[in-house]
Amino acid sequence: MGRILIVDDSPSQIEGLRRVVQKLGHDVVTAEDGLQGIEVAKRELPDLILMDVVMPNLNGFQATRQISKDPKTSHIPVVLVTTKDQETDKVWGMRQGAKAYVVKPINEHELIKTINELMPR
């Protein structure tokens, strides 16, 4: 199927997201912070990115902005997956180029629906 990049600094969050993504039949690549996420996105060119917001080095908002502005990666949909649940956070995330916003703890059905809507056919 497709390849999804999971960017999160929490190993347990990565594993939870990996389980959902693999259940859908997609391959998974991972990164542990925003800076590494940008590097992996440029190298692997995944079909979709699941991006945490609160991370060291470069947060998810900053990484999403860089990915969405870079001609090499701007076609890749970014889904912010975060504990930041304020409306202002969602608005700011979408302004940075995110295509969707999912709040942790994740609702598996909501995440699957979002992935299915945004994965290129």
Residue-level pLDDT at 17: 98
Q: Are 58 and 38 in contact (CB under 8 A)?
A: yes
pLDDT tens by residue, 65-121: 999 999 999 999 999 999 999 999 999 999 999 999 999 999 999 999 999 999 987
Q: List strand residue ranges (DSSP E) for 41-115, in order.
A: 48-51, 78-82, 100-103
H/E segment holding residue 93? helix 87-95
Give percent of the chain above pLDDT 70: 100
Query: What are the structural domains, with CATH classification, of the chain?
Result: 3-118 (3.40.50.2300)
